[in-house]
Amino acid sequence: MFCKTLTASDTSTHGGFSVPRRAAEDCFPPLDYTQQRPSQELVAKDLHGFEWRFRHIYRGQPRRHLLTTGWSAFVNKKKLVSGDAVLFLRGEDGELRLGFRRAAQGKRGAKFSVLSGEQLNQSSLIDAVNAISKRSVFNICYNPRASSSEFIIPLHKFLKSLDLSFYVGMRFRTRFETEDAAERRYMGIITRISDLDPVRWPGSKWRCLVVCMCYIH
């Protein structure tokens, strides 16, 4: 998995996407480095299951990894700008996935400091606990796309959700980001409620809701 904040060059129409070396080597299928300009086609699915195709090439002096053909289509469709971040990740099935996160628009509070490419580990968790006990500052790597369902949400939203009891048959409305970043609203109904992960997180407040939804035109 890797995450990169887009530079001006990455988002300009003038060129492609400069892939951090480690990222390319960890995440993408290996290239044939005996060739002068090794390249391959990458296919990555986004959250909606849509496939994006990129030409991945290793070239330049000094050599570096680049995504060329296909990249600008992605940037345009998602309306990405310098400062936004993209994220590539290899699923358990080996399939390549990608997502993006827009730069904080400087609106309200809750702005998280993002560390690139590192999983939450034991020691950083201990550091956080220590920081809390001392009431000092600590950083959080918040990356909802890196794992399936572990989120950080504002405390007031969490508390508010506890007041609400979800039940099968309950109706709701929600919205999703679409390919063109236009806001689309959906309505739906809850069809099943279960524990998120009874083994790893017994008694967790998190619920897993199976829903049936449809697009509101």
Partner DNA sequence: TTCCATTGTCGGCCTTTCCGACAAAAGGT
Partner DNA sequence: ACCTTTTGTCGGAAAGGCCGACAATGGAA
Give the binding site for DNA (CB under 7 A). Answer: 7-10, 13-16, 18, 20-22, 37, 55, 57, 59-66, 68-69, 71-73
User: CB 116 → DNA: shortest distance, Å?
Assistant: 9
Of the pair 72, 124, the CB lying nearest DNA is at 72
Of the pair 35, 105, the CB lying nearest DNA is at 35
170, 189 in Cβ contact below 8 A? yes
To 5 degrees, how large is the angle CA 192–CA 193–CA 199?
125
Of the pair 55, 90, the CB lying nearest DNA is at 55
User: CB 181 → DNA: shortest distance, Å?
Assistant: 17
- 3-state SS, residue 21: helix
Of the pair 181, 189, the CB lying nearest DNA is at 181
17, 23 in Cβ contact below 8 A? no
Of the pair 2, 89, the CB lying nearest DNA is at 2
DSSP annotation string for 136-188: --------TTTSSS-----HHHHHHHHH----TT-EEEEEEE-TTS-EEEEEE
User: CB 31 → DNA: shortest distance, Å?
Assistant: 13
Tally Cβ neighbours within 10 Å of residue 130. Answer: 11
Return the beta strands (E) in 9-127 as ranges. Answer: 17-19, 39-45, 51-59, 64-67, 85-90, 96-101
User: CB 7 → DNA: shortest distance, Å?
Assistant: 3
User: CB 56 → DNA: shortest distance, Å?
Assistant: 10
